[in-house]
A and B are shown apart, each in its own frame.
Chain A
Amino acid sequence: SAVISQKPSRDICQRGTSLTIQCQVDSQVTMMFWYRQQPGQSLTLIATANQGSEATYESGFVIDKFPISRPNLTFSTLTVSNMSPEDSSIYLCSVLAGGFYEQYFGPGTRLTVT
């Protein structure tokens, strides 16, 4: 298994600013994912972040808006840039551990943009 922590747990931000969310894993993992859940919607994959390579973004998400860093096998950051109220969501970090079948999630970062 994997234990994942995220910082901050919640934040309220002004429109036009940026927020960086940190994800720390208690073991080394190759694949990390970032998801978001907008109000009333499904958890949606933003990007896949593998250590040593550029993040791969899903359709509808771009690097300029959601830059991701993956400096080592236990840590990643997601930045939400130039925020608007539509970015108000829960952002979750996730990892694959124990093979392709076992995927674990952090507790999420609850972001409100005013």
Chain B
Amino acid sequence: ILNVEQSPQSLHVQEGDSTNFTCSFPSSNFYALHWYRWETAKSPEALFVMTLNGDEKKKGRISATLNTKEGYSYLYIKGSQPEDSATYLCAFKGYSGGGADGLTFGKGTHLIIQP
């Protein structure tokens, strides 16, 4: 059974502050690490797909890093805004030859930005 852990479980941040949270995953048979942003009643929105050790990706005020050797990824949000309030999910995709495994998700970090 694959274990994907996210911390913290929830986070309250003042508007304008920067924040980050963690995803840990198995360091073997790594294929890809996905980050999603999920608001209630909406589709999870794909933020990043990270495939290489040392990857750093950025989308506006959100960025992510990847360390496959030690099995962790960080998601950073700079200058938090109320619209950043959501649950952030990470998901691990392992390698099974075809690379077409389903994703194994963490429980998510529930982020609330306080005005």
Contacts and interface: CB of A to CB of B under 8 A. Distances in A.
Interface of A: 4, 9, 31, 33, 35, 40-45, 48, 58, 92, 96, 100-108, 110
A75 B93 CA distance: 24
User: Which DSSP category, helix, strand, loop or mixed, fits chain A's interface?
Assistant: strand
Contacts of B49: 101-102
User: Which DSSP category, helix, strand, loop or mixed, fits chain B's interface?
Assistant: loop
A31 B41 CA distance: 24
Interface stretch (B53-61, B68-76, B77-85, B97-105): B97-105
B51 interface: yes
Give the 4 A-B residue pairs with the shortest CB-CB distance, closest first. A45-B102, A43-B105, A100-B99, A105-B44
A100 B32 CA distance: 9
Interface string B42-53: 111010010100
Given A42-B106, A43-B89, A44-B105, A101 B32 contact: yes
A107 B103 contact: no
A104 B46 contact: yes
A104 B89 contact: no
